[in-house]
Structure 1
C-alpha cells in the first residue's frame, strides 16, 4: 500500500441537511478546531472551549469577530483526539437549523482558519487515522441511503465491524499459510515440500468454503443496498398504473380509461418484507403514431435489459393480442411474474386462471398479497440466509472477493501440476492483496479518493 499523507489542516462543513429545522450542526475537525471555536464562541460565564471537558456541551453565542455582532444562540462541544469520529480534535456547533445561520457561522469558521471539507472528508480522515477500515467507512453512506429497516440493520452491522472481523479471519489464515510456506522456501534442505502441499491445499479448501459462503449471500447484500429494479410491463390500459398506485398506497400515476395515458416511465421505491423494490410503471407497449408515446414505448423496451424483475400484466377479459404475444416472447428468458388482471370482468365459469398467471382484480383489491409474496420469493429463490448478521453489500467488495477466490484456485492448480512452492506463494500473495483491498490495507490513494468522493459534504 502506497504511503498516504494526512492533511494537517482543519476542515469544516455543515453536517446536517440545509433547510428549515430546529437544529443545525457545523462540524470542525483538525488541529486548530478548538482554537477556531474559541475565536467565535462567547459563554455568559466566560468559560472557554479550551477549559471545557471533552464531550461536554457548553451554552453560549457565536459572535462575528469583525463586527462583534451576535450571530446565533448555540450549544458547542469539543471531542478531543483520538476519541472523536475522525480521531482528530473535533468541535461541533449546534445552532438553529435555518440556511442563513448555518451559512453565516460556517463562513466565520472558514475565515477563522478552517477550509471547506470535501465530500466524505470527515469519514476519509476517520479511515486514514485508523478509526475505521474501508468497509466500515463505506457503510456510513449505506446507512444514510438505507431504503428499508433491513438494509439499515445490515449497514449498521457493517459499521460495527462484523464484516471486517470475518475478513480479518481470512487475512490471518492467508498469512499463516504464507508463513508455513516460507519455512520450506528458506530451509529447502529439510525436504518438507510434500507436507507443505498437503497443508496448504487443506487450508485453501477451508478458505474457499468461507469465501463461497460470503459470495452466496452477496446477491442479497446488493438487493438490500440497491433494491430490485422491477418494471410493470404490458399493453395500454391493462392496469399498470393502478397496480403502481396500489403498491405505493398513493395516487402516484395518473389513471384514466384512455389508452396511452402513461407517456414516460414513473419510478418509486416500495418496501416489501424488508426488501426495497424500485417499481417502474412503463408506458404501454403498442404500435402508435403519437410521437411522445412512441418515445415512451421505446424507453420501456430498452428498460427490459436493465431490470431485475418484470411484472407482466394483461387484461384477462380480452383476447391475447399480437402485441402481447410479441411481449411474451421477449420475456421468455427473464425473471417474470405474470398477472391476469380484471378478473372481476369475467363470468364465474371463466374464472379459472392457469399457472403461472396470478389472478387479480385491482377493482376489488384481490391478488395483491399473492403478488407481493411472489415478488419476495422470486428475489430470494431459496438461497439467501435471512438471519445472517452481515452481508456483502458493495460491488467493489464482491469483485475483490471473486479475485481472491480466483487466486486461490490458481494456487490449487499450481500445486496440482507440482510446480515449485515459490510459485504457489505468488498466488497466495495475490489472494491476500485482493482481500486487503476490501478493508483498505492494500489500496492506493486513487481508489480511496474515488470511494469518498461519492459521500455527501459534512460526512
Structure 2
C-alpha cells in the first residue's frame, strides 16, 4: 500500500452532466470529509461504505462550491484496493478543477498518469495484463475490441499464461529434485517426459502467437494501403468502402497526389485505410512527392490492397507494384468488373493464391461483400469471427512470448541430445521469468512505470 494520498479528475474534461474527482490512499476519507458536508449533518465515514451521500462541497472560506454526491469505499474493496472517496459534481471544468484544488489543499497530491490503475496492480487487485486491458477498454474501436478487452480485464489471458507457467515450474521442480538427489531413483523424470511436457507448453504458446495479429488489429486498427498505378480505381474503392465521396474521382490519371487516410469499421474490423497516389514514373514535381509517399506507405503498411484495372490488362507498372507488395500481406483487387475483362485471373491466382485475388466493381459495389468476408477471415481466421480463447493484447506481450518460446525450444533440443538437466533448467527458468513479465509477476520497476505512463491522468 502507498503511504501518500492522490487525487485526480477521472472523467473527460469539458462540459457534461456529471464529473468525478477520485481520491485514493490512506488519507482519502480525511481529505473527503474536509471538503464534503452531508446534508444530513453526518460525517461521510458514518455512512455505510459504498453508499452515496448527498451534500455540498465548501471552499476553505466557507463559501459553497457545488451540490454533490460522495461515496466512501474502504480498502481493499475499491478500484485501487486502498481507501477511496469519489465526489460526483456537475460536469463543468470550473467545479471539477475547484474541487480538485481543494483536495490538494486538504493533503492529497496530483495523481500521475495511470497511477490509480498502477496502485490496483501493485496492491495485487489486478495483474499487468488486466491493467493493460483497462486502457484497451477505454480506447476500443469496435464492439469486438471492447469484447476482447473486457475478457482480458477479467483475467482470461492471465489465466492461460499462469497455467503454462505452472507447467514449467513443475518441470523445474522435478528436474531439480533429480539434480539435488541423484542417488534417488525418480523414475518419473526422464528425458522423454521432459520433452513431452515442454512440447505441450510450446504448443500453448504457439496457439497464443497464432492469434497475435488479431488482438493487435482490434486494439490499434489494421494499417492498410490501397496502391496501384494511376486511374485503376483506388479512390473509387476508398469511397465504396467508406460509403461516401471522400476522395476526388475523375477520368484523368494522377488526380490523387497525396495520401488520404481514413479510419473506419468494415463489418466490425477497424481499419486505418490510406488511399495513395498512383505509383508511376513521372516528371511532375508534386506528383513525384506523392508517389514517393505511396512507396513508403506500401513498405510500412500491415496489409496492402493492390488495385488493378481488369478492363485494361496488366502493365509493366502493375507488375512492378505487385512485385513490391509480394513480400507483404496483400490482397489483389481486380477492379472494374462491370467492364469487359482483359486480365488473366487464373495466372494471378496461381501467383498470389486463389483466396487473395478477387474481382469487384467500385462503381456498382458488386464484390464488396466478398472482400469484407475475406478481410474478416484474415483478421479472425477461417471462422471469420472472434473466438472464445485468449488473445495477446500488444507488441510487448508478443515479444516476451516469442522469447519464451525460443528458450523452450532450446530446452527441447537439449533434452533430445541428452544434455545435463542443469542446461535444461536454465532455459526453462528463463521462460518462466518471461511469462511472469507479461502478467507482472517478475516484471522490473522501470517496465511497470513505462507501461502506466501511457495511461491517461485519472485512470
Which residues in structure 2 correspond to 1:253-264 (within 5 Å)?
Answer: 253-257=247-251, 259-264=253-258
Residues 44 and 392 (structure 1), Cα distance of their counterparts in 2 relative to 1, 3 Å cut? same
Matched, 1:13 2:4: no
Secondary structure, in 3 states, of the residue corresponding to 1:83? coil
Instruction: Name the counterpart of 1:104.
Output: 98
CA-to-aligned-CA distance 1:351-384 (integer Å, 9 cap, x gap) = 8873555443333232221222232334456498
Deviations for 1:139-164, whole angstroms, at most 9, x for unmatched residues? 11111122211111111111111111
Task: Indicate which of 200, 211, 229 corresponds to 2:205.
Answer: 211
Q: Where does 1:397-412 land on structure 2 (aligned, <5 Å)?
A: 397-412=397-412
Q: 1:61 aligns with which of 46, 53, 56?
A: 56
Contiguous gaps of at least 5 residues in structure 2 = 350-356
User: Match of 1:45, SS?
Assistant: coil
Aligned equivalent of 1:41, options 24, 36, 42? 36
> Residues 288 and 64 (structure 1 numbering): CA distance in 2 closer, same or farther, change over 3 Å?
farther
Superposition pairs for residues 168-179 of structure 1, below 5 Å?
168-179=162-173
Give the structure-2-normalised TM-score: 0.90
Deviations 1:225-265 (A, max 9, x none): 22221111123343322322221233433445554443322
Question: How many residues get paired?
Answer: 450
* Residues 354 and 179 (structure 1), Cα distance of their counterparts in 2 relative to 1, 3 Å cut: closer
User: Separation in 2 of the partners of 1:254 and 1:96?
Assistant: 45
**What is aligned with 2:111?**
117
Aligned to 2:272: 278
| Per-residue deviation, 1:454 | 0.8
- SS of the aligned residue for 2:454 comes to coil
Q: 1:253 to 1:78 in 2, by over 3 A?
A: farther
Is residue 133 from structure 1 mapped to residue 154 from structure 2 by the alignment? no
Shift in CA distance, 258/411, structure 1 to aligned 2, threshold 3 Å: same
Which is further off, 129-138 or 414-423?
Answer: 414-423
Match of 1:414 in 2: 414
Quote the Cα distance in structure 1 between the aligned partners of 2:76 and 2:281: 66
Alignment RMSD: 2.5
Alpha-carbon distance in 2 for matches of 1:203, 1:257: 63
Counterpart-to-counterpart distance in 1, 2:320 and 2:193? 58
- Partner of residue 216, structure 2: 222
More off after superposition, 188-197 vs 151-160: 188-197
What are the residue-to-residue correspondences of 1:277-296 with 2, within 5 Å? 277-296=271-290
> Distance between the aligned counterparts of 1:257 and 1:11, measured in 2?
61
Structure 1 residues 364, 43: CA separation in 2 closer, same or farther (over 3 Å shift)?
same
Tell me the residue number matched to 2:345.
354
Within the alignment, does 1:31 sit opposite 2:26 as a pair? yes
Hey, what does 1:440 align to over in structure 2? Answer: 440
Cα shift at 1:411: 2.1
Indicate if the aligned counterparts of 2:226 and 2:234 stay in contact, CA closer than 8 A: yes
* Structure 1: 5+ residue stretches without partners: 1-5
Partner of 2:153: 159
Distance 1:270 1:168 in 2: 36
